[in-house]
Amino acid sequence: MSDAIDKPVPFPAAGNISDAEREELRRHGILMTSLEELYNWGRSNSIWPLQFGLACCAIEMIAAATARFDIARFGAEIFRPSPRQADLMIVSGTVTKKMAPQVVRLWNQMPEPKYCIAMGACAISGGPFKQGYNVLKGIDRFIPVDIYIPGCPPRPEALLNGLMELQKQIQGERLTGPDAARHTRPDMPSEFSVPSYGEHDLQPTKNAEVWKPATPLTRSGKG
Amino acid sequence: MEALDQIRDRLLARFSGASVALVTNPGPAAEHSLLLDPAHAREIALFLRDDSALQLDYCSNATGIDWPEKEIVETKKVSVLDPAGGPAKITEEKTKRVEPGCLEAVYHLYSMALRHGPVVIRMRTANRSDKVNLPSLTPVWRSCDFQEREIFDLYGIVFDGHPDLRRLLMWDEFKDHPMRKDYVDPDDFEWEPTPHAGVLDRAKMHYSAPATLAVSAAPQPEVKP
């Protein structure tokens, strides 16, 4: 197991055996796998999203569940109406400041392992409403986001692509070791503080534990 | 439908003591309106709804306007006689006056029964700070309910007699009125990776690093926890 951690492979095999050797064994009718792989394979193909939409992106999300785009191909068609049964929160649409505490509360009620997709420009950064007084400038100010899907709104194919990226992320997760997945580590929080309604804005306006943006790049010399 | 000035004359004849002014719209739409005084607005509204010739039974829209205090400079040309006997000099005399601000509620009325409209009525508050009360027209037209709540939320006009005057869009703890001209929105532009000038200017005030920071030298803390 140890060198599998040192050399990351997309599909962690059991022991030191390479993927080519494993494929060779499979041709002879011997299937080799690891508990980790099996576990991640199962999880990544049954991501149950939370059934809630915030704006026009939700319409695209609904379209992704229809027969034409068929999110069921990825095992993610079971939109759960309760956060306690959901694995994935698709923040699909504009998060107003009035709605933000409810979104965080729903996230806190979801059991681990849980993932978050920020779908569309509004959920990522506030989008066209960035300069408004009532729209949160990105849901990643309050909850950790795994996948960002740009678009206004993104097409259902983009959502499916985001879902496939999330599947890749889940399949690459480790259950043990120093780079173990977030949900296996007791030191990583799974609940985040819910902002309260202030007199002029949300209090606090961002969760500094979650939202750690890079220093903005500015052009040298010219300013 | 009779013309707006005829309606005004009828209102003035019927309601003694009420002041009803015709507010003309100089634009191409030429949608003139009636400015009612708040003290008589409720009775006048009931009259407009129930009068057999008007029957304005439907209020399609209610909205607010903020008129901030405005300084008006008027220039007047005055000819001054030269004491030396030369030709009269023409000088410009400027007078400043301050037009007090107010908040305004506008209602667009139609008649479903007689199929005419709109008749636009307005009401103005005494000022923008403490005397911001207007009579609610929700008891007259039920459709004003949410729209008056929205005006209360965004402009801060208090509608007396409204059955349920709470904020509609913002949360109850919110203190400001965002559609007023002097509203200052919260400064949460800490980090904006956008070339949009207006946003970037506000974001730059939060940047601790100077604007001459070299691209390669910028430390890159990890984004994801």
Residues contacting residue A11 through CB under 8 Å, at least 6 positions apart: A19, A37, A171
Dihedrals phi, psi of A89, to nearest 5 degrees:
-110, 115
pLDDT in tens, A11-45: 554 567 777 888 888 899 988 788 888 899 999 99
Candidates B105, B214, B184; CA nearest to A221 is B214
Candidates B184, B72, B180, B174; CA nearest to B132 is B180
* Average pLDDT of the residues in A145-173: 92
CA-nearest residue of chain B to A205?
B188
Distance CA A40, CA B195 (A): 40
CATH number of A56-166: 3.40.50.12280
A142 vs B contacts (CB less than 8 Å):
none
Q: Is the pLDDT of residue A95 over 60?
A: yes
Distance CA B186, CA A201 (A): 6
Q: ∠B75-B80-B84 over CA atoms, to 5°?
A: 155
Distance CA B105, CA B124 (A): 7
pLDDT reported for residue A5: 46
CATH class of B4-67+101-178: alpha beta
Q: Which burial class, exposed, middle or buried, applies to B202 when counting CB atoms under 10 A from its CB (0-12, 13-18, 19+)? A: middle
pLDDT reported for residue A219: 58
pLDDT reported for residue B161: 92
* Average pLDDT of the residues in A82-96: 93
- Please give the structure tokens belonging to residue A184: 């296996």
* DSSP letter assigned to residue A117: E
pLDDT in tens, B78-88: 888 877 777 78
* Average pLDDT of the residues in A172-197: 87
Residues shown for chain A: 223
More confident residue, B217 or A213: A213
Where are chain B's structural domains? Answer: 4-67+101-178, 183-213
pLDDT reported for residue B215: 47
Distance CA B203, CA A18 (A): 50
pLDDT reported for residue A158: 94
Candidates A52, A115, A117; CA nearest to A81 is A52
pLDDT reported for residue A211: 87
**Cβ pair B171, B163 in contact under 8 A:** no
In chain B, which stretches have pLDDT less than 70?
192-195, 208-225
More confident residue, A6 or B177: B177
Q: Per the CB < 8 Å rule, is B186 touching A219?
A: no
pLDDT reported for residue A1: 40
pLDDT reported for residue A4: 43
* Mutation site, A97, A124, A197, A218, interface B, largest B CB count within 10 A: A218
pLDDT reported for residue A190: 86
Q: Is the pLDDT of residue A177 over 90?
A: no
A212 vs B contacts (CB less than 8 Å):
221-223, 225
* DSSP letter assigned to residue A10: S
Where are chain A's structural domains? Answer: 2-33, 56-166
pLDDT reported for residue B208: 65
pLDDT reported for residue B224: 53
pLDDT reported for residue B13: 93
pLDDT reported for residue A21: 84
Q: Per the CB < 8 Å rule, is B170 touching A216?
A: no
pLDDT reported for residue A162: 94
Selecting from A130, A209, A217 the residue whose C-beta is nearest the C-beta of B215 gives A217
Per the prediction, chain A carries an average pLDDT of: 86
